Structure 1
Amino acid sequence: MPSQPIYLDHAATTPVRDEVLEVMQQFFAEIYGNPSSIHRAGRQASVLLERSRETLAALLNARPGEIIFTSGGTESDNAAVRGIALARRASTGANRLIVSAVEHKAVLETAEDLRDRFGFQLDILPVDGEGQVSIDDVASALGDGRNVALVSVMYANNEIGTIEPIAEIGSLCRSLGVPLHTDAVQAGGKLPLDVEALQVDALSLGAHKFYGPKGVGLLYLRSGTPFWPQMTGGGQERGRRAGTENVPLIAAMAKALELAEQERVEEEKRLRDLRDHLIGALLESIEGVRLTGAREKRLPNHVSIVVEGAEAEGMLIALDLAGIAASSGSACASGAHRPSHVLEAIGLPPHLAAGALRFSLGRSTTADDIDYLQKILPKIVQRVRT
């Protein structure tokens, strides 16, 4: 057993950094005014709210007015897909949605709801065996773009780590005047977030994926993009998202992303080295193991495999008893009794999908942690198989 538990589930959530916690505690204790109030306490909160907005906008190469604060990645995805699709249909008559088959359920189920309740036509793009969308398939689905309300393709997949060609998709959508939204929740703090380089019109982030607090996120919405608010009842966020802003959590998110961006390039290399070492060791030491997702075009901290002949639940329990926290895929789908829709989309049969494991590395992960995992996992697999 390791002296300290080894946490390898950073794709599910990350611990709050000490520097971020300090910001949050200070704001909870001292900056308690409602930013919509006109008295001194309210003005003080408003100034700091806008300062956080400016920081986040600069990190995304956006304008402050293009940042909308939300309760997290799921709300940001919902707001983008519903808000843009409904507004575009009202203004242009466009009635088609295009999403990939491996989207997070926050996008996929929202698109399905728009189809089932609002009559949108939904095109679901297939992916290859590594989980990547084909530019040719996007172009074919778009056609001349005249009836397409929105395209939504995630930046990086939460279950298998594959990175999608967002900039290329963005260029294609822009040439046809079709808005592109990307769920960048897993990419936050790990991949470049320059919205101009990505050529996206909307981008979703959740703070707890990059060492910020849970319960806060943002939606980047390019100026001029049609949008109907999904939260109404107040004029906050320039009328695009009603509700008193949670200034302590927003300030903490700004600090967390600022720190993550400062360290991203160096940390990306460190994590990629650990990732590649782990992938190689697992494929070599355990018979019947297969990597899921792309080998190269994947998140630097993400290792996802399937183990033939061993069920994920048994392996995860054994790993936990051995001091390692991991997962079988999306934490949002834990407890589900059907195969992952992502693993289905890349063509894995149910008997293989049942053995899915995900190890997502983070700031606390060391080479010793990886060595310990690769030492004990073969024994665990053998025990679960028998």
Structure 2
Amino acid sequence: MPSHSPDTDPSAIGHGRKIIHVDMDAFYASVEQRDDPALRGKPVAVGGSRARGVVAAASYEARAFGVRSAMPSVTALRRCSELVFVPPRFEVYREVSGQIRAIFARYTEWIEPLSLDEAYLDVTEDRAGLGSATAIANAIRAAILAETGLTASAGVSYNKFIAKLASDQNKPNGICIIPPSHGESFVAGLPVKRFHGVGPVTARKMEALGILTGQDLRDRPLEFLQRHFGSYADYLFGAARGIDHRPVRAHRIAKSVGAERTFENDLSDREALHAALDRVVDAAWTRIERSGAAGRTVTLKLRHSDFRTITRARSTGKPIMDRALFAAMGRELLDQQLPVAGGVRLLGLTLSGLHHREEDDTTPPIQPELPL
């Protein structure tokens, strides 16, 4: 077996951590199908309507037709004429999410929620005495199914980056285990557009540079990545080698939650800009509800046709708890910038000043003897 230096050995880089990424399967839509038997087996879209709005979540039956979250409802309906739209019930999703996190807490105190339906768990310390991270992941998935009637998929690995990739590998209701010895080869065969943090714009830039897979990314030297991706280069360089230093952080705080959209054609008409902002609001509010966050500051991001970008913010004395106020503040900020000479190519809207528990920066205990 070839030897590794401490700088390149994934198990050394992972510091012996055992990480699970748990991701609920089509969470919102699955809750709706669970609670309404008439929806089972049918293509379901949560959010939006047959006339307008944006899909917040889609069942696997709907995904088979190409329906995806953040897709305009009219587009989703064109792809699946039998699509059933149901209004979101975020209070129910939060309640179920609480049940799921209580299950996580039986096995570890190191829980980093990313949203209502997914979380990282550090199970390096085998609290339940099950003997392996895989056994813990399977016990968690079985408890979720028994207690909520919902399925979850899990990725088990030595760091967060690979665990998250792995959880998507065998969906729905699947598990994927990637040990340190297979991390680099696993990453090499994946398209870079699947990498956490690589959005559509970055993926297109990589494609233009001939970077389509993890192996392509690994073949580029750090200097090349720094020249093209700036401060993001170090993360990409490590990710291509299956390396991720980040610990699981309990009580993780998001600084802001929102959404933005880049337009194919620059917009200058007030009515068109308001319609575009409504779509941004739909996408942003879905993420805000999913995160369970409440904040006091709304920030508008506006990019002009010449790529000049401005941000404008407004704060309130109390947390913004409903979509209508969030949308109204966004429209007010937008109207203050109109008319816009030359047009607008991007709009974004975020909520910040979020209220969560204080972040605990302590990393979990290390017990490298627990196998994956």
Normalising by structure 1, we get a TM-score of: 0.27
TM-score between both structures, scaled by the size of structure 2: 0.28
Q: Relative CO higher for 1 or 2, CA cutoff 8 Å, sep ≥ 6?
A: 1
